[in-house]
């Protein structure tokens, strides 16, 4: 790998100090592949230099995950053991700063029964969800990436320097190179995103209408009091500003659950549970996904939509111009962290209660009364075609162009 230690250290520092914004005295929970142990050590040390009280590591392994699904019984995999639940309960008390380093093989679970994967995810997600809800908005977290060999080979199957090429793309999209100050670059970037979010909030749109020649023809209603947000968030316990996704290009909100009509056609494959869904579209009627089609992964897509009652409804709509650095890389990352930041997207499943005034202090049940969707899943899929047109419609029927030809109108 040709990436210098200096760049890796700069990247680790950006993740810890700008992304997670680790504060003195905080517990940090780091999730990272066993293959990336050297980089994990860099991140861990940077956390301690920021004053972290303790850094815990959850080691991840594609091989372990695949072997478990291949050989272990579904009931065994679905069970949440007492120590696992106790660990989640401890998180609601510690409110750790969480750092996730993504490097999964997109084909890690290729060939595994999608019904088994969905059933295990559903069972475990149902148990874990109350704990996740309990810490929502009360801790900092960030997802960043480190290229694995198999991930890089998926992106660049014919390249001898696949890992180097993926590294180059990752560092470009997170604004880290040998010359610039990434902290200042991120400050300018977040300022721009926040200015666009402020414009959208000033419009008070009642709904958005999507149109594309690929078959997308869709209208979604928005929650009147919900805000458009982007780039960063604030921990309501200590007021620390953090950036959950690195990279990030989106401005998002949660629409009214159960109020949308029409068809959304995906423009990029979706990697879900380490399996691919390709060439797909979802049709909504009376606010719910009523049908879907996929060139690959049809059964998996159907299982995803049936994960629970909220899985068939939208929890997010997000605007991303096609000039996004992720999109300009010119290839599919097979990783939602990147691909969702290439173009406009929507998400099936759980919405964001924090977009509501006072939402961080609401229970999910209270947020649902305002129109926020609830589910054990939140799955982004990309709909930002190059010719995508989006109009904002106000309550009086006024129509305002928001996107034309895949970018800001």
pLDDT digits (tens, 9 = 90+) for 156-198: 999 999 999 999 999 999 999 767 789 999 999 999 999 999 9
* Maximum alpha-carbon separation in the chain: 59
Per the model's pLDDT, the better-predicted residue between 115 and 174 turns out to be: 174
Instruction: Taking residues 360-374, report their average pLDDT.
Output: 93
User: 251-253 and 205-211: which strand pairing?
Assistant: unpaired
Q: Which residue pairs from 401-406 have beta carbons closer than 8 angstroms and sit at least 24 positions apart in sequence?
A: 402/200, 402/208, 402/319, 403/319, 403/321, 403/344, 405/322, 406/321, 406/322, 406/343, 406/344
Could you tell me which of 81, 104, 85 has the C-alpha nearest to residue 32?
Answer: 104
Per the model's pLDDT, the better-predicted residue between 115 and 404 turns out to be: 404
87-105 residue pLDDT tens: 999 999 999 999 999 999 9
Q: What is the pLDDT of residue 249?
A: 96
- Domain spanning 5-173: CATH 3.30.450.20: no
Q: Where would I find the H helices in 270-409?
A: 298-305, 325-328, 336-339, 364-369
Tell me: pLDDT of 1 over 70: no
Q: What is the pLDDT of residue 275?
A: 82
Per the model's pLDDT, the better-predicted residue between 131 and 360 turns out to be: 131
Tell me: pLDDT of 292 over 90: yes
61-77 residue pLDDT tens: 999 999 999 999 999 99
Q: What is the mean pLDDT of the chain?
A: 95
Per the model's pLDDT, the better-predicted residue between 336 and 262 turns out to be: 262
220-260 residue pLDDT tens: 999 999 999 998 889 989 999 999 999 999 999 999 999 99
- Please state which of the ranges 260-269, 270-279, 307-316, 350-359 shows the lowest mean pLDDT: 270-279
Q: What region does 297 belong to: left with phi over 0, alpha with psi -120 to 50, or beta?
A: left
Using alpha carbons only, give the angle 223, 370, 349 rounded to the nearest 5 degrees: 80
Tell me: pLDDT of 215 over 80: yes
Instruction: Taking residues 26-32, report their average pLDDT.
Output: 98
Q: What is the pLDDT of residue 115?
A: 87
Q: What is the pLDDT of residue 9?
A: 94
Tell me: pLDDT of 261 over 70: yes
pTM: 0.86
Q: What is the pLDDT of residue 142?
A: 97
Q: What is the pLDDT of residue 178?
A: 66
Angle between the 114-135 and 82-94 helix axes, to the nearest 10 degrees?
30
Q: What is d(CA 195, CA 182) in angstroms, rounded to the nearest whole number?
A: 20
Residues in the chain: 409
Could you tell me which of 199, 190, 144, 119 has the C-alpha nearest to residue 376?
Answer: 119
Residue intervals in the chain for CATH 3.40.1830.10: 5-173
């Amino acid at each position: 790998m040709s990436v210098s230690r200096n760049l890796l250290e700069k990247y680790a520092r950006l993740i810890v100090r700008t992304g997670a914004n680790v504060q003195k005295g905080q517990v940090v929970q780091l999730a990272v592949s066993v293959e990336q142990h050297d980089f994990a050590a860099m991140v861990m040390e940077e956390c301690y230099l920021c004053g972290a009280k303790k850094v815990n590591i959850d080691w991840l392994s594609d091989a372990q995950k695949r072997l478990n699904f291949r050989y272990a019984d579904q009931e065994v995999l679905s069970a949440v053991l007492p120590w696992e639940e106790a660990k989640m309960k401890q998180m609601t008390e510690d409110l750790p700063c969480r750092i996730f380093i993504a490097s999964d093989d997109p084909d890690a679970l290729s060939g595994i029964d999608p019904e088994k994967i969905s059933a295990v995810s559903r069972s475990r997600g149902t148990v874990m969800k109350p704990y996740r809800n309990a810490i929502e908005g009360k801790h900092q977290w960030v997802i960043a990436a480190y290229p694995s060999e198999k991930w890089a080979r998926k992106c660049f199957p014919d390249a001898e320097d696949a890992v180097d090429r993926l590294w180059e793309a990752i560092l470009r999209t997170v604004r880290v190179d040998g010359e610039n100050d990434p902290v200042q670059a991120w400050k300018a970037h977040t300022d721009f995103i926040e200015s666009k979010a402020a414009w959208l909030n000033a419009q008070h749109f009642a709904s958005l209408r999507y149109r594309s020649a690929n078959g997308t023809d869709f209208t979604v209603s928005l929650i009147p009091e919900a805000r458009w947000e982007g780039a960063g968030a604030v921990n309501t316990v200590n007021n620390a500003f953090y950036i959950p996704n690195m990279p990030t290009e989106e401005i998002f909100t949660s629409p009214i659950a159960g109020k949308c009509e029409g068809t959304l056609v995906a423009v990029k494959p979706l990697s879900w549970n380490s399996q691919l869904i390709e060439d797909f579209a979802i049709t909504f009627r009376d606010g719910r996904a009523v049908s879907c089609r996929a060139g690959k992964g049809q059964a998996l897509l159907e299982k995803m939509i049936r994960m629970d009652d909220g899985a068939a409804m939208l929890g997010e709509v997000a605007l991303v111009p096609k000039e996004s650095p992720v999109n300009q890389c010119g290839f599919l990352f097979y990783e939602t962290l990147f691909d969702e930041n290439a173009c406009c997207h929507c998400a099936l499943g759980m919405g964001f209660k924090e977009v509501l005034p006072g939402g961080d202090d609401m229970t999910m049940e209270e947020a649902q009364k305002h129109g926020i969707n609830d589910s054990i899943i939140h799955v982004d899929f990309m709909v930002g075609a190059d010719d995508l047109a989006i109009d904002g419609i106000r309550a009086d029927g006024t129509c305002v162009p928001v996107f034309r030809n895949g970018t800001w109108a």
